[in-house]
Amino acid sequence: GLDLSHCVRTNSLGPAGPWRSGGPCKMKRVRTVFKPEQLERLEQEFLKQQYMVGTERVDLAATLHLTETQVKVWFQNRRIKWRKQSMEQKAAKLSQFGVIQPASADSTDSKDREEDTVDVEL
């Protein structure tokens, strides 16, 4: 058989998770697709507080039929999006007043980073 002991993760290790195999050592996490109702509730909770921890996260995950990790990662990604939107709003206000923006705030750069999200299971 194949020796996959050098691989980071295989289907035989631990509980079955949202992983798919593209061959030896090609384990890739399947992207979670949230239902509109789940997203609505997650957004409501995010408006109340940007950090969801402890029993609140466990309860929310159970209510939405998600894992605690899925809720945690959603909040991490949402905070990144929130910070990015805040930076873009500040840049827009500065440009209204004729303040020159640094090169890193260039609109083409922000388009390239638009899909950079953290989707890591810890």
81 occurs within a structural domain: yes
Residue 22 in domain: no
102, part of any domain: no
Q: What is the pLDDT of residues 58-97, one digit of tens each?
A: 999 999 999 999 999 999 999 999 999 999 999 988 888 8
Does the residue 4 lie in any domain? Answer: no
Domain assignment present for residue 6? The answer is no
What does the buried/exposed string (b/e) look like for 4-17 if buried means 16 or more CB atoms within 10 Å of the residue's CB? Answer: beeeeeeeeeeeee
Residue 15 lies in a domain: no
Give, in order, the Cα–Cα distances in Å from 100 to each of 6, 96, 97, 114.
Answer: 51, 10, 9, 22
Q: For residue 54, give its domain range.
A: 36-93
Most confident of 24-33, 36-45, 99-108: 36-45
Task: Return the CATH number at 67.
Answer: 1.10.10.60
**Overall domain count for the chain:** 1
Determine, yes or no, domain membership for 78. Answer: yes
